Structure 1
């Protein structure tokens, strides 16, 4: 009887943990990815990264992220863009703001294939943090908070990796819960 109760408690804990992780991952944009497809193709298929996909297309980055690589993309889900109003996003997507939008988008991209394991190794060598140079040219810092990898921009804004290591044919995507910024943006 004691053994059966222990098994039931273990199962309940595992199920509870799975349910919490599933809810969290759905909230921030977990989606099934085909490692044979490109970053753009999988982003398009996700349904949870419409704003990011629009930014890729508006800046002509879709062509680059569809073929070249490898790239590591810290991909804000649509929920991550909630810090911006819909009018701010509309303004940012206007053709006259293409350079500002490209700067924002490329701040989420690092050349190379940086899996979570590689980030953790770099943080270990860096005594708890590592700095990554983005394609945009500025730096972001990766640290740990509990068991989560946290990215910090130059203004102290943070984003947590909510889903790591989605392999692509031309790199890797890590879904993040916030937008990181290369500079102060006055969108309107």
Structure 2
């Protein structure tokens, strides 16, 4: 069988010379991009929690999401944009912060911090860059937590500034999920 794709037309020809043409969309042949994060493939067919759980760089984030009771939400339909701090990002916090946040007594504070990393809707890098351009160098993103993050460019890197003036770089952008997109960041963002 000989298969030839021409734009939206697909021509199938068998060895017997019988040919047929099928109209299709280009996306029928496009494989979703699979990125590697933390040594694991991030599959666009899986949700945010499923993929993050496979990343060796996000074990702290996954433990925090579970401790805060956010796994069902972030496994849901979405779409969500998640700025996902790495283990190294959590390690930048003062010593003892992470174990303290993971305690049941601190669930509200942990939830506030984690939901500050989530924006409702799917904002890929191109859409964030477009917002930055439209905002004359800055874009404001309202988080699920309710406060805002400011996105800007530092060279060619998207920089996020939190409510306390802390900054985080997007180190891996556009990790597509079935229910949104993850952008890996190098610093934990803090709400007021």
Instruction: Measure the CA separation in 2 of the matches of 1:88 and 1:176.
Output: 18
Aligned equivalent of 2:19: none
Candidates 117, 129, 139, aligned match of 1:120:
129
Rate the CA distance shift 1:157–1:122 in 2: closer, same or farther, 3 A: same
Matched, 1:170 2:179: yes
TM-score (normalised: structure 1): 0.80
Is the partner of 1:127 in helix, strand or coil?
A: coil
With normalisation by structure 2, the TM-score equals 0.79
Contact 1:58–1:98 (CA<8 Å) still a contact in 2?
Answer: yes
Deviations 1:60-80 (A, max 9, x none): 100010123000000000011
Shift of the 30–70 alpha-carbon distance from structure 1 to 2, 3 Å rule, reads farther
Question: Using the alignment, how far apart are the partners of 2:94 and 2:162 within structure 1?
Answer: 20
Assess if the C-alpha contact under 8 Å between 1:162 and 1:176 holds in 2: yes
- Residue aligning to 1:150: 159
Q: Structure 2: how far apart are the matches of 1:130 and 1:90?
A: 33
8 Å CA contact retained: 2:78, 2:179 = yes
Provide the aligned C-alpha RMSD in A.
1.7
Contact 1:71–1:112 (CA under 8 A) maintained in structure 2? yes
More strand by share: 2
Distance 1:157 1:85, change over 3 A: closer
- The aligned residue for residue 36 of structure 1 is 45
**Structure with larger Rg:** 2
Gaps of 5+ in 1: 1-24, 184-188
Equivalent in the alignment of 1:83: 92
Deviation per CA, 1:42-74, whole angstroms, max 9, x where unpaired? 000112101110111011100010123000000
Structure ranking higher on relative contact order (CA contacts 8 Å, 6+ apart): 1
Aligned residues: 158
Gaps of 5+ in 2: 1-34
Q: Say if 2:53 is the partner of 1:57.
A: no
Partner of 2:22: none
Query: Which segment drifts farther, 103-112 or 87-96?
Result: 87-96
